[in-house]
Structure 1
């Protein structure tokens, strides 16, 4: 089974979209004809599956061997055995092991993939399933769960061993535990925390959409306050209650996350990206970037190239 190779050039920076024709049982996938919307997978490293890619399914990813560097959206960080992450649909990701013996590792990853629509549709008729929706919303940005590895492995083996209705019940048991797990962090981008009522939610969603769709726009908190007929102090309280961030911090996060996308997906100069995302000077951009990501934009781009792994990383260095 052949995967498309990643060559040097701008297109190599984009995640590969994984589809059913990529999913060979020879690589560890369960045959499509034998599973429903919940699919189990385990594999070693190196493998063609370890690449910068995305897919339409959610993916619960558990590392059981080796350590290295993980790439989830615009987040870059270390991993080791016990690392558990839930990625949402179309969120690019890759795990690159750096301590693999010459003969490779037979089993590094335990994975469960599942689709959104069956859960969302069922939740309209089964209110209890609504408990999963906040978890699935968080997964759009990637969620790392701390201290869940032992329970996660037990759940994975139960799901893997079950078929039909028993697989569904084992899967729901796993998801219920994840939905109630409080020790986690979001990995990529900012996350809404909700609002007090539907009208406020509509207002805050409209504001957030304008900020994220026009990152270089210089709208201030005072501008939005005037539009909503609020004082600036009242708007600031309203915005922080709804998003968990001050207006300025939120805008900076959105701009830095957009900068990460440009650093990973284009060859534009860092200076140009600074102005593209709405910062007025490079020094402030570099300072804010380091505060949020722990490294400079140039260092981030250099590290991000290794998300492809192997020869692709070497090809990226040659650009």
Structure 2
């Protein structure tokens, strides 16, 4: 198994490393880096875990993460079919802002940058007009080198810091409490759930993957993720339902069973718990935004 701390510092040239990914699917390893990460999904969709947050990603998704923040991206099943020509395209930038001195970061002029770097400990997603500007900077950085890369990166960070177009992903106060042993264990659980959430998931089977009794596993999972295992599975299923509701041709009752629920009443109740609206109201809202 690959190391769960991905050492990217050794890749950094002048504190910046840019990597373009064109592959059948993204790595689904739950891991963290020893550098900051900017990830732009040019093409691809699936589910993402950052710290204790669970979310969908799709074309254009743009996130920034601080060092030591555990995360993983799970491409949709269609990307794992050997016969498919569907591929993921992403641009990832790793960097260490060691060119920003303590004197800089503590100055009044750098207040927005200082606040942004603090928010990155929870991971952030960029949207709106700032998204367009940041994507432009990233594409220019891909073709630049040396001092120009530094300038573009700083402009990128400053653009985000001055905007209101970003939201934090992990919950307030989140901190990485994983060590190498238990992050491997959680990784195996996450991977199993992501591959099987559309079917019935047995607590006994998942506990066996973690080499625990069901009761011990439930306590362990909650201590690490701050949510129950049932809540986590439902979170994944409802996120997938939200994605499917974009397709007007799919009947909502069909979506219910396609997401792993075994009855429509439970699906409706769980959907409202997570989104505060019914599936039909959610679909209406989504289609109105097109």
TM-score band, normalised by shorter chain: 0.5 to 0.7
Partner of 2:115, secondary structure, is helix
Q: If you compute each CA radius of gyration, which structure gives the higher value, 1 or 2?
A: 1
Question: What are the within-5 Å matches in structure 2 for residues 100-115 of structure 1?
Answer: 100=79, 102-105=84-87, 108-115=89-96
Gaps of 5+ in 1: 7-14, 24-31, 193-208, 214-259, 280-287, 304-319
Q: Aligned equivalents of 2:171 and 2:164: distance in 1?
A: 19
Is the 1:132–1:176 Cα contact (8 Å) retained in structure 2? yes
1:7-60 residue CA offsets vs partner (Å, 9 max, x unmatched): xxxxxxxx711114985xxxxxxxx5xx21122121023367553221111111
Q: Which residue is equivalent to 1:68?
A: 46
The match for 2:231 among 296, 304, 310 is 296
Q: Which residue of structure 1 lines up, in the alignment, with residue 6 of structure 2?
A: 18
- Which of 127, 150, 161 is equivalent to 1:179? 161
Change (3 A) 1:86 1:40: same
Query: How far is 1:128 from its partner?
Result: 3.2
Deviation at 1:97, TM superposition (A): 1.8
Q: How does 1:157-196 map to 2 (within 5 A)?
A: 157-191=139-173
Question: Which of these residues, 40, 44, 50, is aligned with residue 22 of structure 2?
Answer: 44
1:156 and 1:89, CA in 2 relative to 1: closer, same or farther beyond 3 A? Answer: same
Deviations 1:83-119 (A, max 9, x none): 11111111112222214371342x5211121114433
Query: Given that residues 39 and 93 in structure 2 are in contact (C-alpha distance below 8 angstroms), is that contact kept between their aligned partners in structure 1?
Result: yes
Q: Distance in 1 between matches of 2:31 and 2:221?
A: 25
TM-score by length of 2: 0.57
Which residue number corresponds to residue 250 of structure 1? none
CA distance in 1, matches of 2:33, 2:100: 17
Moved over 3 A (4+): 20-23, 46-50, 124-130, 263-279, 297-303
Task: Give TM-score scaled by structure 1 length.
Answer: 0.52
What do residues 157-199 of structure 1 show as CA deviations (whole Å, max 9, x unaligned)?
222222222211111111111112213222112149xxxxxxx
Q: Using the alignment, how far apart are the partners of 2:6 and 2:84 within structure 1?
A: 28
Q: Distance in 2 between matches of 1:278 and 1:53?
A: 19
Alignment of 1:77 with 2:55, yes or no, is yes
Q: Tell me how far apart the structure 2 counterparts of residues 17 and 168 of structure 1 sit (CA, whole Å).
A: 25
Q: Give the superposition deviation at 1:149.
A: 3.6
Rounded to whole Å, the distance in 2 between the matches of 1:109 and 1:41 is 8
CA RMSD of aligned residues (A): 4.0
C-alpha spacing 1:188/1:36, structure 2 compared with 1 (3 Å): same
Separation of aligned partners in 2, 1:126 and 1:159: 27
| Distance in 1 separating the partners of 2:156 and 2:145 | 15
